[in-house]
Amino acid sequence: MYILGDIGNTETKIFLVSLNNKITKKLTFSTKDINQIKLEKLFINFKIDYKKINKVLFCSVVPKSFNMIKKFLSKKIKIRCFEVKDLNLKSLIKIKANYKQVGSDRLTNAISLTNSQNNFIILDFGTATTFDVLIKNTYSGGIIAPGVKLSLNTLSDRATLIPKIDLKKIKNVIGNDTISAVRSGFFWGYAGLIDNIIYLIKKETGKSFKVIITGGFSNLFKKSIKTKVYQNKEITINGLIRISKLIK
């Protein structure tokens, strides 16, 4: 059995995966709330037979949280807990971007799509909204834009008269009250941002792409932009499964 995990700025997901690559259990919790006591309680409920674990791999953009989970698991399992960038990824993907500065979650997503004849743009609605460009199994770099929820919360925190709202699909562009005006600005604003960045990537590269969307707001935008997109909510775990094969 494998323990595979994705530690994001907002949320941490941990998967128990069988030797035939089937997800048997999933644990999700807030990254900022992690401590040793909470981990102990969470993993008790997770009910893992630690003796059966032979690989542990995480992609993480929060080093402090990864080190905390690594410390916790090292007390349970006598094998090394790897982070994606601890491994030599060259056999899985070529990387043209600055390796030290590319998030391991973004590389993991890209690796899940290698060995294909397509070029890909991976659009991930996370704490940040990221666009990653994969051309013929080469990670070429990407774009980092403000995250939808983070931007929405920041606006309501900084503007006294703007309440906390949930972002929803909205038909009209012109709002007739504060809430509908904010919803319109964020919904149509991000729809335009997405279409324009994809257009600019295509223009700059001179190539066509299959666009994959994932993350929290992918449901909201998948049918609300001009670009044809394919939703894949399992892209990160699929990438982790592929990368785990490098651990001998």
Question: Could you give the residue numbers annotated as active site?
Answer: 105
Question: What is the distance between the alpha carbons of residues 224 and 222, in angstroms, rounded to a whole number?
Answer: 6
Amino acid, res. 172: N
Rounded to 5 degrees, what are φ and ψ at 236? -70, -45
Asked whether the beta carbons of 6 and 40 are under 8 A apart, the reply is: no
CB contact at 8 A, 44 and 35: no
Do the beta carbons of residue 94 and residue 137 sit within 8 Å?
yes
Cα–Cα distance for residue pair 181/194, rounded to 1 Å: 20
8 A C-beta contact, residue 42 and residue 30: no
Phi, psi of 143 (to 5 degrees): -130, 140
